[in-house]
A = this chain, B = another copy of it.
């Protein structure tokens, strides 16, 4: 796919990246979950950054400010994990809207601090400004990985199997529940928690990188459909996803039942494929690697959802029937 025909955000990023001179001192620059730069001694320094804005990525009435700090850091930690690395340091910048209580800013930082501590990450700096508009957060996270353990989006080969960790659709179901704006069934709380306080797969990512068995990896921030398109594009391969293999938990079905009873269209398959923000790991490996990988990740569930091929297609298969899997919806 040419840059011109990319959808939305991906097209703009490609246009902007085209303005920059090629990086001279970087192993990997724009286009993966994080950049990689060589360190003295041979390890790689990983760098990732994200901007989060009220009204685009979150609403202040969805949860306590500490959840917002947690999530902002979590999604950047997930980008480091996606490269096979371990996050080490972070900086955070905050634009505070007029009248936003200092206590809320403090709570937001407490959420950052809580996850930073769990993840063994030092928050070493930041910037705080008065916002002329929405609450805005920017995170940059640094990480470290041995050069031979670096995992990128570009290593998938025809014949590899396609895997995901954990479950799909939980965070997207949580988002729809929050958007519905009515008190939800207590049993659906884990979906809301998945949306507000995602848990990046740091240990799983390190285990996968250390296995030497994984050929390509990324994290699921925009849904299987969009993210698989990106992985296939970077690897120059096609893929076929088996619809019935997608690990959609019963709770996502129950959430969709509740949403429909609340007159809100919701479909478990749509949430799993296009919902995003699951922050699970999507990766490829030869089929023979499945048993050892499963053992390394246990008790975290590992699901084979399809396979990579040398076609130009990304297909969603239902038994013998297969159709094109669209790129999906992005934040842009």
| Residues of A in contact with B (beta carbons under 8 Å apart) | 9, 12-13, 15-17, 19-21, 23-26, 28-30, 34-35, 37, 39-41, 43, 45, 47-51, 53-57, 88-89, 91-96, 102, 105-106, 109-110, 112-113, 116-117, 122-134, 136, 138, 140, 142, 331-332
Contact = CB atoms under 8 A, between A and B. Distances in A.
Contact of A124 (B35, B109, B126): B35
B37 A39 contact: no
Given A45-B45, A49-B140, A123-B29, A132 B134 contact: yes
B20 A91 contact: no
Contacts of A40: 39-41, 43
User: Which interface residue of A29, A41, A332 has the most chain B CB atoms within 10 A?
Assistant: A29
A138 B29 contact: no
Given A93-B51, A129-B9, A105 B23 contact: no
Contacts of A21: 113, 116-117
A222 to B, nearest CB: 12
Contacts of A131: 53, 56
A95 B51 contact: yes
A176 B134 CA distance: 26
Nearest to A9: B128
Contacts of A105: 12, 15-16
A45 B13 CA distance: 27
A51 B53 CA distance: 12
Nearest to A124: B35
A176 to B, nearest CB: 20
Contact of A20 (B12, B19, B112, B128): B112
A105 B54 CA distance: 21
A21 B115 CA distance: 11
A132 to B, nearest CB: 3
Given A13-B128, A29-B125, A51-B95, 17 more contacts: A9-B130, A16-B126, A19-B106, A19-B112, A20-B116, A23-B89, A23-B123, A25-B88, A29-B124, A51-B93, A51-B127, A51-B136, A56-B129, A91-B140, A93-B138, A129-B331, A130-B331
